Amino acid sequence: MINPQWLMTFKTLIETGHFTQTAELLHMTQPGVSQHIKKLEQACGYPLITRYNKQFEMTEQGRLVYQYSEQQTHQYQKLINNLQTDSAYEGTCKIACSGSFALSLYPQLLHLQHQYPKLHFHLEAAPNNKILDSIENNTIDMGIVTQSPINDLFDTTIIGQERLCLVFPLQYENNNINSDLLTTCGLIDHPDAQYYLSKYFKDCGSHNLVDIKIEQLPITSYINQLNQILIAVAEGIGFTVLPQSAIDHFENKDKLYIATPITAVTEQLFIIQKRYRHLPKRYQTVTSLLASLCR
């Protein structure tokens, strides 16, 4: 690694053409300038200037070192400029959320990008635990999750709630929902199904469902692609449980039966980010969008 102070002395010397002027500009002595050039030459392993009659010319190696010093100066100035620029409408936002919420969020992010072309989005659909891991590892900056983290690594803000729906093929409409019906119908399993079912059975207010052992329900199909889950339900293969947003974006809703619970089942939505990490202003723009979307 070349000493940046020696490099600056060399760059200044080349641009002034004089040891005396270089010393004055850098508030050094002339022998100090000569010492820097000597140390830089030793570090590079080549003479960088050829001295003659109190003047000098760059060697070929000196020309390359000077070009390098110009690049370093340019990169430094670019860094300083970037540090000073923190725009609410420019840069890339790295966000993660559930697949169902992404169906609602992504079109809104695209609309925002049309308004502000320099604002870009990296949106990843993932389950809660993957989102937390990604934020902890700094591969994602902001997440929307349905469970508040239990540790103190994250800052959490409630932004709203979303309804959970128990979804059946249409032929099960108006049937009494109990253990026998669920066993007959069979579960369309997906990565969040166990969590959603547990919450739904616990909070829906139906005594027929609260004691059902979820792990004993027969699984008739498994799919981890959100946009495919309801296809199996519409085809009569089985039932499932999903957030309302997933159902809203399904084309064949007329082939589904949404059970009406005694008590509406909802899950809260939280914005999370890494504690003590100050995010750029552009994430405030995203937060405002999320607040309006979840209102």
Phi first, then psi, for residue 148 (nearest 5°) are: -70, 130
32 and 120 in a single domain? The answer is no
Output the pLDDT for position 36.
Answer: 96
- Same-domain status, 226 and 147: no
Terminal alpha carbon distance of the chain: 54
47-62: average pLDDT? 92
Confidence check: pLDDT of 86 > 90: no
pLDDT at residue 84 greater than cutoff 80? no
pLDDT tier for residue 150 given thresholds of 50, 70 and 90: confident
Domain end position, chosen among 35, 65, 84? 84
What is the residue range of 251's domain? Answer: 162-266
pLDDT at 100: 86
- Mean of the per-residue pLDDT values of the chain: 92
The answer to whether residues 167 and 262 belong to one domain is yes
Q: Is the predicted pLDDT of residue 65 greater than 80, yes or no?
A: yes
**Same domain as 166, residue 155:** no
The verdict on 40 and 181 lying in the same domain is no
Question: Is residue 255 domain-shared with residue 175, that is, in the same domain?
Answer: yes
Residues 183 and 256 in one domain: yes
Q: What pLDDT, on the 0 to 100 scale, is given for residue 140?
A: 96
- What is the number of domains present in the chain? 3
Confidence of residue 261 (pLDDT cuts 50, 70, 90): very high
- Do 237 and 181 belong together in one domain? yes
d(CA 31, CA 83): 36
* Residue 114: per-residue pLDDT: 95
pLDDT at res. 21: 94
Confidence of residue 72 (pLDDT cuts 50, 70, 90): very high
What's the mean pLDDT in 93-98?
A: 94
244 and 278 in a common domain: no
Q: How confident is the model at residue 80 (pLDDT cuts 50, 70, 90)?
A: confident
H or E element: which one contains 144?
Answer: strand 142-145
CATH number at residue 190: 3.40.190.10
Locate 132 and state its tokens.
């937390």
Structure tokens at 60: 């070929």
Q: What is the rounded average pLDDT of the residues 136-153?
A: 91
Average pLDDT over residues 83-102: 89
The answer on 66 and 32 residing in a single domain is yes
At residue 88, what is the residue type? Answer: A
User: Which of these three, 48, 67, 84, is where a domain ends?
Assistant: 84
Tell me, yes or no, whether 261 and 231 share the same domain.
yes
Domain end (from 84, 118, 133): 84
pLDDT over 80 at 276, yes or no: yes
Q: What percent of the chain has pLDDT over 90?
A: 78
* Mean pLDDT value across residues 99-111: 91
Would you say how long the chain is, in residues? Answer: 295
The predicted structure's pLDDT at residue 78: 87
- Cβ neighbours of residue 256 closer than 8 Å, sequence gap 6 or more: 167, 168, 169, 170, 230, 233, 234, 247, 250
pTM over the 0.75 mark = no
Residues 156 and 272 in one domain: yes
- For residue 295, pLDDT over 80 is answered with no
